[in-house]
Amino acid sequence: MNLHCGYFKSSSCFLLGPAHRTGISGQARIFEMGDDPGWHSGAAYIVYQALGWFAFTAWSISFWPQVILNYRRKSVVGLHFDFVVFNLTKHSSYLIYNAVLYFSPVVQRQYHEKYGFDEMIPVAPSDVAFSTHATLLTSVMALQLFFYERGSQKLSSACKIISSLVWTEAIIILVVSWFHNDWLSMIQNFNNIQLFMTTIKYIPQVYLNYSRKSTIGWSISNILLDLTGGTANFLQMLTQSIDQNSFVNFSGNVGKVGLSLMSILFDIVFTIQHFCLYTDHSEVAPDDYLQVGDYAVVQSVDPELGAGEHDEGDKTPTPGV
């Protein structure tokens, strides 16, 4: 059964509903997944669907914990700004890819002309909903960087350069696509952007946690939910392979499978950092910090010291990039 699975964190494989309209030549062709004879086991198909819904739910919820944590702390200290920018670029690019391919008959026609008119459009309504939700929540997180306590943190020069190059390239491809009426190449470029961002977005946060020897300010709930969704998605693909007695859905999407495994690997790294390496999760309130040179000096709460006094010996480097 050719489901065109493999788009990173794409739910198009398991959330087509009972049917998916492709819009071929102005006539809707309906693909009834429940009646697909390609599945050898009805139980395997049920497991496949259940894992898909489970992964979709976990991934969707995973965007909320970091936003809620920032709101409760009224601080984004400990959250790397580069990660937020890279993640926003990733999901906004993925939204453009999903929305245009799903809603545009022109792009759908170009897709079928390239890949065959018997192939399903690899985007479902749930893909559009997922990427819209992800882009909105990531945008809220980006706004929080401006309004909450941020310490000395700021965007790195590398992030500014990479982001500028990525969006400049996207504009160039857009102009070229306009002149050649090749909109499929344009949206595929946005899909490539989201894949590239997936490979690099976690690196700044891993380094920040390492340099601070702390995961305070970084939501572990986000990571655990992401790890849960990634694992369920991988098991879903494995279920299909076992039923079909073929691993073509892995071997045919080596790059995307590799990216999925990379995301799981980073989730494991964050989990180890939080629960094994940097286990002190107690936090000093922002009001308890005094800036002294390159250090954040923690004001003493010892009642023997007067109000506003602090212990000069209790110095820790200012959390920052």
State the SS3 of the chain.
Answer: CCCCCCCCCCCCCCCCCCCCCCCECCECCCCCHHHCCCCCCHHHHHHHHHHHHHHHHHHHHCCHHHHHHHHHHCECCCCCHHHHHHHHHHHHHHHHHHHHHHHCHHHHHHHHHHHCCCCCCCCCHHHHHHHHHHHHHHHHHHHHHHHCECCCCCCCHHHHHHHHHHHHHHHHHHHHHHHHCCHHHHHHHHHHHHHHHHHHCCHHHHHHHHHHCCCCCCCHHHHHHHHHHHHHHHHHHHHHHHHHCCCHHHHCCHHHHHHHHHHHHHHHHHHHHHHHHCCCCCCCCHHHEEEECCEEEEECCCCCCCCCCEEEEEEEECCCC
Residue 24's region, left for phi above 0, alpha for psi from -120 to 50, else beta, is beta
Q: What is the pLDDT of residue 11?
A: 42
If one counts every other C-beta atom within 10 angstroms of the C-beta of residue 21, the result is 15
Instruction: Evaluate whether 138 touches 63 at the Cβ level (below 8 Å).
Output: yes
Q: What's the gap between Cα 117 and its chain centre?
A: 31
* pLDDT value for 104: 96
Kindly give the pairing relationship between strand 289-292 and strand 310-317.
unpaired
Going by C-beta distance under 8 Å and a sequence separation of 6 or more, which residues neighbour residue 39? 1, 45, 243
Angle (CA) 9 11 15, round 5°: 170
Spatial distance between the Cα atoms of 85 and 189, rounded to a whole number of angstroms: 19
Q: How many angstroms separate the CA atoms of 38 and 183, rounded?
A: 32
- Give the pLDDT score at 209: 97
pLDDT given at position 253: 62
Please tell me the distance from the alpha carbon of residue 120 to that of residue 104, in angstroms, as a whole number. Answer: 14
Residues of the chain with pLDDT under 70: 1-37, 252-256, 284-321
Q: Which of 208, 13, 214, 216 minimizes the C-alpha distance to 124?
A: 13
Are the C-beta atoms of residues 87 and 197 closer than 8 Å to each other?
Answer: yes
- What tokens does 120 get? 């399903």
- What gap in Å lies between CA 51 and CA 46, rounded to an integer? 9
pLDDT at 17: 39
Report the half-sphere exposure of 12 (CA within 13 A, side-chain side): 25
